[in-house]
Structure 1
Amino acid sequence: MTKEFFAASLAIAMSLPAVARAGEFSAMDADGDGYVTMSEFQQAMPEATAEIFTAADANADGALTDEEVAAAQDAGVLPAKEG
């Protein structure tokens, strides 16, 4: 029973950052289309510059996906929100 509890606890703990990021992304994605545009980005993060958006936009399509936001947070390009 202890091994199962430990394994379940570890799985939950490892998934929490992804859940937090998903919440952050959906908060930025004002229209809920699965992409964060420059306008949405600036509304969510008024202190961030266009250069930061461009650095986070890995495929240079003018919109950020959840994966691009997560990668930018991991790389330190975008701040990871705490709490």
Structure 2
Amino acid sequence: MTKKMLATGLAMTLALPALAQGLDFDTLDANGDGFVTMAEFQAAMPDVSVDAFMEADTNADGALSQDELAAAQEEGILPAGDE
């Protein structure tokens, strides 16, 4: 449980600057795996609904690619971060 709490804290610490800088994909991708999970996204944008995230996840793999994130922001599904 301690490891999970530390990992969550680290993800939040790394993702919080996204609020001030806009939603930069590399900032949101806290673990650097090339995808943004719901946990990583909610760490930066806690008010975004699970439904909006799922709508943005067009291939339903549980994570957003850089293209999915950009498309969802363009379509207004997810906030661009400067709102």
Give the TM-score of the pair, scaled to structure 1: 0.68
Structure with max Cα Rg:
1
One-letter amino acid of the counterpart of residue 25, structure 2: F
Greater share of helix residues, 1 or 2? 1
Separation in structure 2 between the aligned mates of residue 38 and residue 32 of structure 1, nearest angstrom: 14
Moved over 6 A (4+): none
Question: Unpaired runs of 5+ in structure 2?
Answer: 1-20
In the alignment, is residue 76 of structure 1 matched against residue 48 of structure 2?
no
Q: Percent identity?
A: 53
Between 1 and 2, higher relative CO (CA 8 Å, sep ≥ 6) is seen in: 2
Give the TM-score of the pair, scaled to structure 2: 0.68
Separation in structure 1 between the aligned mates of residue 64 and residue 25 of structure 2, nearest angstrom: 9
One-letter amino acid of the counterpart of residue 58, structure 1: T
**Structure 1 stretch displaced more, 63-72 or 37-46:** 37-46
By how many angstroms is 1:29 displaced? 0.4
1:55 matched residue in structure 2: 55
Question: Unpaired runs of 5+ in structure 1?
Answer: 1-19
The two structures, once aligned, show a CA RMSD in angstroms of 1.8
Task: Show CA shifts across 1:13-59 (max 9, x none).
Answer: xxxxxxx98x6111110001100111111101111111011011010
